[in-house]
């Protein structure tokens, strides 16, 4: 099966979760190629239409798999190759982008959302819920001590890894900083994820005491699942599918979107890390089918349903 992945390429490459999903589809026997969209806003995306048509004519894919509402809408403007669309979060949660997502749904043959929450917002029972998988060859339990040594982190400092760059407004870094500052503890340090490779992120998640997500909105945040795969305590606001992932799992704490409650949960998580070490987060990912083999199989099933319909 020949699959053309269409997604934003404004950063110079596909997003890590898109690239990882494509890599696993390739390992499963799909022939994968990419069309990376350059430009922002609807007009920026529309300027890619001619180049996309040329790519489709050259590759002759069986399926176009578009990631995000805008990518799916652009892909759906051609009618020669069926489009499968995956919606990841902001394309549904942000009202001004939701218009494009709803239009993309009408132009695509099958639609995937990464959480039940996004399915609820869109109000369509036909949407298939398939969260992105966690690559457990990269994100897995490693030595807390060895990872700290590798990063040059102090042995007495308590490190909290924030889910993204401090410049990423949707992740609400101001709330994370306010929560940590309210603890008035100089031995606790908040670390951002900026310009890090996947292996460096995995090392940081194993070396830290807590992984922290304070986003305004999410779909199915990879950061949370990656921390769970590393069996690291996590504190998160109630966004996307996080409440489902945390349900009944010790060492994983849901917090209200205020500095006081987040600070309290951070102390609980730090204490858990000190006393218990690792959580059972990886077991949750296994039980929910969030490892690559299962997710890849589900996506290929969607492709086959489209081609056989």
CA 150 remoteness from chain centre:
26
Describe the crossing of helices 49-59 and 69-76 by its angle, rounded to 10 degrees. Answer: 70
CA 221 remoteness from chain centre:
4
Look at residue 98 and tell me whether its pLDDT is greater than 90. yes
User: Is the distance from CB of 61 to CB of 6 less than 8 angstroms?
Assistant: no
Q: Is the pTM of this model over 0.85?
A: yes
Domains of the chain: 2-133+291-308 (3.40.50.2000), 144-287 (3.40.50.2000)
Look at residue 10 and tell me whether its pLDDT is greater than 90. no
pLDDT in tens, 261-289: 999 999 999 999 999 999 999 999 999 99
Euclidean distance between CA atoms 236 and 209, whole angstroms: 14
Q: Which of 8-12, 106-110, 242-246, 302-306 has the lowest mean pLDDT?
A: 8-12
Look at residue 9 and tell me whether its pLDDT is greater than 90. no
Euclidean distance between CA atoms 47 and 287, whole angstroms: 43
Give 41's pLDDT tier (boundaries 50, 70, 90): confident
pLDDT in tens, 134-191: 999 999 999 999 999 999 999 899 999 999 999 999 999 999 999 999 999 999 999 9
Residue (of 151, 68, 162) closest to 113 by Cα position = 68
* Strand blocks (E) in the chain: 2-8, 31-37, 63-67, 83-87, 110-113, 128-129, 158-162, 188-191, 210-213, 234-237, 252-255
Residues whose CB is less than 8 angstroms from the CB of residue 83 and which lie 6 or more positions away in sequence, other chains included: 63, 64, 65, 66, 72, 75, 76, 107, 108, 109
Which CA distances in Å does 197 have to 138, 168, 204, 222?
A: 11, 17, 11, 14
CA 216 remoteness from chain centre:
15
Average pLDDT for 212-232: 97
Give 40's pLDDT tier (boundaries 50, 70, 90): confident
Look at residue 11 and tell me whether its pLDDT is greater than 90. no
pLDDT of residue 39: 85
């Amino acid at each position: 099966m020949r699959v053309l992945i269409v997604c934003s390429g404004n950063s110079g490459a596909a997003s890590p979760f898109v690239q990882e999903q494509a890599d696993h589809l390739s390992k499963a026997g799909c022939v994968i190629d990419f069309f990376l969209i350059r430009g922002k806003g609807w007009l920026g995306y529309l300027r890619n239409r001619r180049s996309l048509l040329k790519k489709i004519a050259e590759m002759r894919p069986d399926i176009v798999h578009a990631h995000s509402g805008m990518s799916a809408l652009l892909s759906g403007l051609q009618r020669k190759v069926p489009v499968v669309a995956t919606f990841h979060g902001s394309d549904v949660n942000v009202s001004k982008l939701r218009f494009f997502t709803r239009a993309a749904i009408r132009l695509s043959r099958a639609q995937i959302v990464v959480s039940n929450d996004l399915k609820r917002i869109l109000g369509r029972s036909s949407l298939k819920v398939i969260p992105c998988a966690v690559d457990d060859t990269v994100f897995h339990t490693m030595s807390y001590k060895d990872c700290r040594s590798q990063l040059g982190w102090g042995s007495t400092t308590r490190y909290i890894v924030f889910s993204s760059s401090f410049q990423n407004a949707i992740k609400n870094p101001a709330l994370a900083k306010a929560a940590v500052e309210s603890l008035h503890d100089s031995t606790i340090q908040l670390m951002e994820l900026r310009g890090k490779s996947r292996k460096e992120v995995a090392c940081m998640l194993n070396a830290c005491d807590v992984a922290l997500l304070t986003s305004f909105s999410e779909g199915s945040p990879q950061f949370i699942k990656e921390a769970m795969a590393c069996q690291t305590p996590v504190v998160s606001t109630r966004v996307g599918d996080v409440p489902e992932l945390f349900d009944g799992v010790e060492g994983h704490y849901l917090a209200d979107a205020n500095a006081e409650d987040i600070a309290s949960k951070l102390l609980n998580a730090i204490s858990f890390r000190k006393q218990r070490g690792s959580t059972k987060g990886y077991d949750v990912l296994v039980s929910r089918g969030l490892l690559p083999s299962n997710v890849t199989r589900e996506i290929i099933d969607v492709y086959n349903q489209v081609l056989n319909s």
